[in-house]
Structure 1
Amino acid sequence: MDGVAKKIRWSRFLHRYSGRGIIVPIDHGLTIGPVEGLDGMAQVARWIRHPGITGVIAHKGLLERLVSRDLLRGVGIMVHLNGMVSMASEPNRKERLTSVEAALRLGADAVSVQLNFDGTNDGHNLTQLGAVVDEAQRHGLPVLTMLYDKVECPNVEQQLVRQRHLMRACVELGTDALKLAVPAQLTQVPTLMQGIQEHTAVFFAGGTVRSEEEMVETARTLVAYGASGLCVGRNVFQREWRSTLAILDRLQEVVLEDADAGAPAEWPHAVGESA
């Protein structure tokens, strides 16, 4: 990631010592409507200030409402730039809904786009990402690409080849970070990230709600394979709120488990302060 401004802003999404993060996307309402866990500010307020959350992704309208209630203090803020309602005739064709400049005016530290490749919209997706990256670079904002391949392949190997090609295309166009679905076989993760994780942050989605134990073990494996962290929504907020706090506690321990490894044993006194 080049540029001082980008590096400073991106650092707000990562833990200071582990260099990894837990980013929670809450952009689901535009796509699928009212969602349990996001249906009201009171629900969101129960969990969004958990110390394990390093960043939040939201559409501009929800972001304004969260900030007005002082619910996003101390986390990286990412504005999601595109989207489409699930009831549309082409739900995989995500359209630009706002600009990088508008995100910057809202105080964003980064922006994100979602690209669903369904075999008919490749040009639309790549053109949109290229334009977003150009716009973001002018303002020194990092770009995260949520990349989903919707094309069914006859076998796992071909699916992996397609996914790596799409990842490389996003990197070639200048994305700074990727959000990917967890592959069906976790042993594919090293191959998936080979040559990419050296220069591009790779976060993994949580997908549909799974058991707490399965989510935690998956996170542990992903971190061991070198993932930058998690970008997980429904597996956080679509639980009874006490369970949400419990899984965030455990994910924080797993994803940021070596967070204290780089901390000095004793913090130095401020200049002029007596010992």
Structure 2
Amino acid sequence: MSTDEIDEAIDWQGAPVDCGQCPHGELLAEGRCKPLRACVFDRYARRIDRFFDWNPKLARLYLAHPYFEVRAWAAKAAEIFLLPALLDDPEETVRWSAARRLPDRYLLKLRNDPHREVRIRVAHRLDPVDLLPMIEDRDYYVRQVVARRISPDLLVLMIDDDEIEVRRVVAQRIAPQALKRMTTDPDATVRFEAAQRLDAALLPDLIGDPDWRVRYEVAQRAALTDIRLLLSDEDPIVRETAEARLGETPDPSGRKVLERNHSHIEERI
């Protein structure tokens, strides 16, 4: 007999489970519950879950149980029309257990849920068009998920986000016509993300960027007539890339230098 690695049956208040006091005594005789395996009064979540798997029709009776694990697993099995009331449950586990089974329109209510994990899950599941109110969420990771999913045209609303990792996602996805604004970001990693997507014709404006990765992008993709200043760049990879493209190396094609620098760039980044 599996014991789920816990060889005791304790209820949610810390008392031993007593099958003799259980209101579902008939289930034990029918094999529809089992000590240490499937029990609604055991505090171990897997046993509660298994009880409702074996007895889904009883789930409706436990949606208001004082132990949150019981309510959460009951929500997994109960009739769906009973679940909207659980969106106001004090426990986030219960709220999400109900929400994951309800139509997406019910998730709109949880966009302002007090618990970040619920809002993260909501942001992953909602249609992108419904994420706009979440672009100012107080948790940076929620905003990061939103930045990955909303329309690129709406990302202009997140250009000035306080969190660097959010702005990096914005730079990776924002519509091309707004990308130039990200090249003046105070953080070098954000500017580099923007530089990698920027139209080559606009790269010369970044030739004086203080970060070598941004200047490398200029040396690698800008027109030859615009990269001569980089021949004296302080960074050897930037300088050698410009030299290779302008043919000012022993290898006229510059191919070997460019290939070598391309492998070095990933190591340094």
Band of TM-score, shorter chain: under 0.3
**Which structure has the greater CA radius of gyration?**
2
TM-score by length of 2: 0.25
